[in-house]
Structure formats: structure tokens, C-alpha cells
Amino acid sequence: MHTVAVLALDQVIPFDLSTPIEVFTRTRVPDGRPGYQVRVCAERPEVDAGTVGGGGGG
């Protein structure tokens, strides 16, 4: 099994954080076991994700 670290920075867009978690946790080896152990890593226990859908202009 491989270990994948997903880095969670302040102001992360939640979707951007969830995508690699979804991809790597769904991957299985031929016998059905998980192929990856996923770790979410951050500088602190809580991450400021800012405002979701912040209406950034355009």
C-alpha cells in the first residue's frame, strides 16, 4: 500500500481538497484491498477554507 499526503492550505477550495481524497480512496488493488492510504496534512488542526462560492467577479 502506498501513502498519499494531501496538503490542506488556508483558503483551500473544499472541492479541490476533496478530489484527490475521492480518487485515491476509491482505488483498489486486484484483490480488493485499498491501494492507497490517504493523509490530509496541514500546518494546524483546523484550516480556514474561506467563504464558499465567494462571488469572485468576472
Residue 46 lies in a domain: no
pLDDT at 58: 44
The range of the structural domain enclosing residue 29 comes to 2-41
The one-digit pLDDT tens for each residue of the chain (58 residues) are: 899 999 999 888 888 889 999 999 999 999 999 999 999 999 998 888 877 655 554 4
Cα dihedral sign, 33-35-41-46: negative
Residues in CB range of 51: below 8 A, 6 or more apart? none
Full-model pTM: 0.69
Number of structural domains in the chain:
1
Pair 4, 38: CB distance under 8 Å: yes
pLDDT at 31: 96
Residue 50 lies in a domain: no
Residue 10 lies in a domain: yes
Pair 14, 53: CB distance under 8 Å: no
